Chain A
Amino acid sequence: MFGNGQELLAFCQKENISISDAMIRRECDLFETTADEVQQCMLRQWQVMESSVEDALSKNLTSMGGLIGGEAKKLMKRQKEGTSVCGDITAKAVAYSMGVLEVNASMGVIVAAPTAGSSGILPGTLKALQEKYHWNDSQMTDALFCASAIGLIISEKATVAGAEGGCQAETGSAAAMTAAAICELMGATPEISLHAAAICLKNVMGQVCDPIAGLVEAPCQKRNGIGAANALISAEMALAGIPSLIPFDEVVEAMGHVGRSLPESLRETALGGVAATPTGCAYKDKLRQKI
Chain B
Amino acid sequence: MKRISAFQVMGPVMIGPSSSHTAGALRIAQIAAHILKEPADEVIFYLYGSFAETYQGHGTDRALLAGMMGYPTDHPDIRNAYDIAREQQLKYQFIPATLKEGMHPNTVSIEVVGSSGKKLSLTGASIGGGEVIVNVINGIDVAFTGEYPTLIVQQQDRPGVAAHITSILASAGVNIGTIRMYRESRSNRAFTILETDEKLSSDLVDRILENKNIYDVFMIN
Contact = CB atoms under 8 A, between A and B. Distances in A.
Contacts of A156: 4
Interface in B41-94: 50, 53-59, 62, 74, 76, 78-79
B163 interface: no
A203 B62 CA distance: 38
Interface size class, chain A? 35 or more
A291 B96 contact: yes
Name the residue among B5, B10, B62 with the largest chain A CB count within 10 angstroms.
B10
B150 interface: no
Contacts of A104: 16-17
B11 interface: yes
Interface stretch (A9-17, A70-78, A140-148, A182-190): A140-148
B117 interface: no
Given A27-B6, A288-B53, A217 B17 contact: yes
A151 B10 contact: yes
Interface residues of B, number: 32
B15 A215 contact: no
A242 interface: no
A112 B17 contact: no
Interface in A111-156: 111-114, 116-117, 119, 122, 144-145, 147-149, 151-152, 155-156
23 contacts: A23-B6, A27-B6, A42-B6, A45-B7, A64-B57, A65-B54, A65-B56, A105-B16, A107-B16, A107-B17, A107-B22, A109-B15, A109-B76, A110-B15, A110-B16, A111-B13, A111-B14, A112-B19, A114-B10, A116-B14, A149-B6, A177-B9, A290-B56
